[in-house]
A and B are shown apart, each in its own frame.
Chain A
């Protein structure tokens, strides 16, 4: 798989995409294998650990990618284009779901889960669930910036390209995201990081 990642990177934005545009089936597969886990991880944590929804969104992203690859004109990095598709798919899905959710503030609805003594939550998976919920409760703009940073390992400039905003805006959103998470989950410091 490491070899596959290297191949994907080497053939990367130019070679692989051109091969896809010529209908090279193996190139499609390589693109998918090279990026699927990153796209899936972003979608998974965007939707608070909902695996079925993350699979659906990942599927949508690659379907859009494969059916529109003929339109790609190499004016931007392929990865930026892919992450823009990922971002749009997540935000669109979130909007669709919001229409059918009962009224109320999603963030405040999650807050009670984020409280309680650390002693009651020593089980690792519970702590992780709480963290996932807190990320899912961030405002979508903060959430997607944080996820692109940590799961796509993008620089601020690349995130700015993918989101269509300035690097300063990206820095501000990531900073706010970190602060909200730290304030909301400060009580987990002990159970997660050994009481530092």
Chain B
């Protein structure tokens, strides 16, 4: 509570310029201090703004102008005992090449050494070659600048079998560049180092692509398979795109699995993850899971120790147009800890259904005095956040169920009952 604020260290932290212990201290402080978190958002915006400016290539004619300026300067200083060692320069404008042979010889001698004078006869040919070189270098420069924007890469280590990056097998270690796919077959596993902010383990049968890696954002695409992420960065630096939603890390560890239909399961083991699409967001804490389906986006999060009927009714409500009947079953089966699900359902229902959700939620855990029935039903953001804050104590702890078994059952049930739109 009395910890020193870290506003002045935020840019150094974002740039990886702090020692490890200091960096960990800043990360811990950010997780608990709203003021510094808000300031960090400001710093990240500043970084993204400057990063959005592209490096620019110097004009191709510049070398010629420098040579001309050197020649003119040499001619001016031809009688100076210090020759080129001139301390003051007027602003230099492009000047015509000095045509006096003796001045040119002097320039060459001064710039390229005495041996240069003997090569004077080949000067024109050399100039032509230089022009050609500048042209080729210019073209290469454009390619280089373009490639430069996609050169960043992460280290990938093989844990078993032969993972592949593109068509090349990864030896003990390799690199995964931006835009490249990492593929594991049925017998291989791999580990990715996420810049300096975390690690991702890739299970067999997975296909994953590095989309971008920048100071302010690291993003991968999980097309198919399963990955386990452990991230120790501040919130919203690491994102995983799946075919049906984006998982945004909020400082956590989690497993994410995508099946061959593009459905996915997020299972959080520590901290929080936001599972989101453009118009829908599920906040998933440790011990909870969330299922997504292409065309629908993230379903409502639920705790893994919830009853089977509760989980199945929720899937029916989220993905199979289960409507009021499915909702009634969810509300009937809900325990105190399932207020996580009910709190999310407030914004996913309307009219009488929302009133039913509110009443069940209020019965299981009465809202704080600052939250009114009208405000909650009108989805007042501040009130909903305050209610969520008071509920979070009941969401911590609890017994983890066998999520793998739950997911397999749910997958089979969704396969039968939830056609992908």
Which residues does A use to contact B, with CB under 8 Å?
1-2, 4-5, 22-25, 28-29, 32-33, 36-41, 44-45, 51, 55-56, 58-60, 62-64, 66-68, 70-71, 93, 96, 128, 131-132, 134-135, 146, 149-151, 155-156, 167, 171-172, 174-175, 177-183, 185-186, 188-189, 192-193
Q: How far is the CA of A171 from the CA of B53 in the complex (A)?
A: 21
Closest residue of B by beta carbon distance from A69 = B84
Question: Which residues of A sit under 8 angstroms from B413, Cβ to Cβ?
Answer: none
Some 22 contacts from A to B, beta carbons below 8 A apart, are A1-B137, A2-B147, A22-B113, A37-B55, A38-B55, A39-B58, A41-B56, A51-B59, A60-B91, A63-B92, A66-B84, A96-B91, A128-B52, A131-B49, A131-B53, A149-B15, A156-B15, A171-B11, A174-B11, A175-B11, A178-B45, A189-B45
B320 interface contact, C-beta 8 A:
no
B116 interface contact, C-beta 8 A:
yes
B111 touches A192 (CB 8 A): no
A55 touches B59 (CB 8 A): yes
Q: Taking the nearest CB of chain A, how far is it from the CB of B43, in angstroms?
A: 5
Question: Which residues of B sit under 8 angstroms from A23, Cβ to Cβ?
Answer: 111-116
Q: Taking the nearest CB of chain A, how far is it from the CB of B88, in angstroms?
A: 10
Closest residue of A by beta carbon distance from B68 = A59
Closest residue of B by beta carbon distance from A36 = B58
Q: How far is the CA of A71 from the CA of B87 in the complex (A)?
A: 12
Q: A5-B144, A23-B112, A63-B92 are in contact. Are A29 and B63 (CB under 8 A)?
A: yes
B50 touches A146 (CB 8 A): yes
Question: Which residues of B sit under 8 angstroms from A135, Cβ to Cβ?
Answer: 50, 53
Total B residues in contact with A, Cβ cutoff 8 Å = 54
B57 touches A67 (CB 8 A): no
* 4 additional A-B residue pairs with CB within 8 Å, beyond A23-B112, A175-B12, A181-B50: A1-B140, A2-B147, A96-B91, A185-B45
Question: Which residues of B sit under 8 angstroms from A67, Cβ to Cβ?
Answer: 70, 73, 84-86
Q: How far is the CA of A28 from the CA of B63 in the complex (A)?
A: 10
Q: How far is the CA of A66 from the CA of B91 in the complex (A)?
A: 16
Q: How far is the CA of A1 from the CA of B39 in the complex (A)?
A: 40
Q: How far is the CA of A151 from the CA of B55 in the complex (A)?
A: 7
Q: A178-B42, A178-B43, A192-B49 are in contact. Are A59 and B69 (CB under 8 A)?
A: yes
Q: A186 is contacted by which of B45, B47, B66, B91 (Cβ under 8 Å)?
A: B45
Question: Which residues of B sit under 8 angstroms from A167, Cβ to Cβ?
Answer: 17
Q: Taking the nearest CB of chain A, how far is it from the CB of B217, in angstroms?
A: 10
A172 touches B8 (CB 8 A): yes
Q: How far is the CA of A71 from the CA of B55 in the complex (A)?
A: 30
A68 touches B85 (CB 8 A): yes
Q: A23-B115, A66-B70 are in contact. Are A156 and B12 (CB under 8 A)?
A: yes
Closest residue of A by beta carbon distance from B51 = A150
A33 touches B137 (CB 8 A): yes
Question: Which residues of B sit under 8 angstroms from A71, Cβ to Cβ?
Answer: 85
B65 interface contact, C-beta 8 A:
yes
Give the 4 A-B residue pairs with the shortest CB-CB distance, closest first.
A23-B113, A178-B46, A1-B140, A40-B58
Q: How far is the CA of A186 from the CA of B38 in the complex (A)?
A: 13
B89 interface contact, C-beta 8 A:
yes
Closest residue of B by beta carbon distance from A40 = B58
A24 touches B9 (CB 8 A): no
B130 interface contact, C-beta 8 A:
yes
1/0 contact trace for B29-42 toward A, CB 8 Å?
00000000001001
Q: A56 is contacted by which of B85, B86, B92, B147 (Cβ under 8 Å)?
A: B92
Closest residue of A by beta carbon distance from B108 = A25
B393 interface contact, C-beta 8 A:
no
Question: Which residues of A sit under 8 angstroms from B8, Cβ to Cβ?
Answer: 171-172, 175
Q: Taking the nearest CB of chain A, how far is it from the CB of B21, in angstroms?
A: 17
Question: Which residues of A sit under 8 angstroms from B112, Cβ to Cβ?
Answer: 23-25, 28
Question: Which residues of B sit under 8 angstroms from A189, Cβ to Cβ?
Answer: 45
Among B17, B69, B130, B145, the most chain A Cβ lie within 10 Å of the Cβ of: B17
B116 touches A25 (CB 8 A): yes
B55 touches A128 (CB 8 A): no
Question: Which residues of A sit under 8 angstroms from B57, Cβ to Cβ?
Answer: 37, 40
Q: Taking the nearest CB of chain B, how far is it from the CB of A152, in angstroms?
A: 10
